[in-house]
Amino acid sequence: MKRRPNASIAAAQDRIENPNFPKREEKRSSDSGLFLSSKRVFALCLAFRMANSLLVQTYFNPDEHWQALEIAHRIAFGYGHLTWEWKKGIRSYLHPMLFALLYKLLQLFGLDTPWFMMKAPRLLQSIFSSVGDYYLYKLSNVTFGEHAAQLALFSQLTNWFMFFCFTRTLSNSLETVLTLVGLYYWPCLRVSSHKVPLASRKWALAIAALACAVRPTSAITWLYVGLLELFVTHDRLRFIFLEVAPIG
| DSSP characters over 71-82 | HHHHHHHS----
Q: What is the pLDDT of residue 36?
A: 53
Distance, in Å, from the CA atom of 118 to the CA atom of 39, rounded to the nearest integer, reads 29
Cβ pair 130, 49 in contact under 8 A: yes
Tens of each residue's pLDDT in the chain, 248 residues: 444 444 444 444 444 444 444 444 444 444 444 445 889 999 999 999 999 999 999 988 999 999 999 999 999 999 999 999 999 999 999 999 999 999 999 999 999 999 999 999 999 999 999 999 999 999 999 999 999 999 999 999 999 999 999 999 999 999 999 999 999 999 998 877 777 888 999 999 999 999 999 999 999 999 999 999 999 988 888 988 889 999 87
Q: At how many degrees (to 10) do helices 114-144 and 94-108 cross?
A: 130
Q: What is the pLDDT of residue 185?
A: 96
Distance, in Å, from the CA atom of 45 to the CA atom of 67, rounded to the nearest integer, reads 26
Q: State whether residue 145 is helix, strand or coil.
A: coil
Q: What is the pLDDT of residue 156?
A: 97
Counting other chains too, the contacts that 24-27 makes at CB distance below 8 Å and 24 or more residues apart are: none
Within 8 A by CB and 6+ apart from 98, the residues are 72, 124, 174
- What b/e string do you get for 63-95 counting C-beta neighbours within 10 Å, with b at 16 or more? ebbbbbbbbbbbbbeeebeeeeebeeeebeeeb
Q: What is the pLDDT of residue 10?
A: 45
Distance, in Å, from the CA atom of 83 to the CA atom of 5, rounded to the nearest integer, reads 79
Evaluate the CA torsion angle 142, 143, 147, 149 in order and state its sign. Answer: negative
Q: What is the pLDDT of residue 192?
A: 76
Q: What is the pLDDT of residue 120?
A: 97
CA angle 77, 115, 45 (to 5 degrees): 105
CA 70 from centre of chain: 25
pTM beyond cutoff 0.75: yes
Within 8 A by CB and 6+ apart from 125, the residues are 53, 166, 167, 168, 169, 173, 174
Cβ pair 97, 72 in contact under 8 A: yes
Q: What is the pLDDT of residue 194?
A: 72
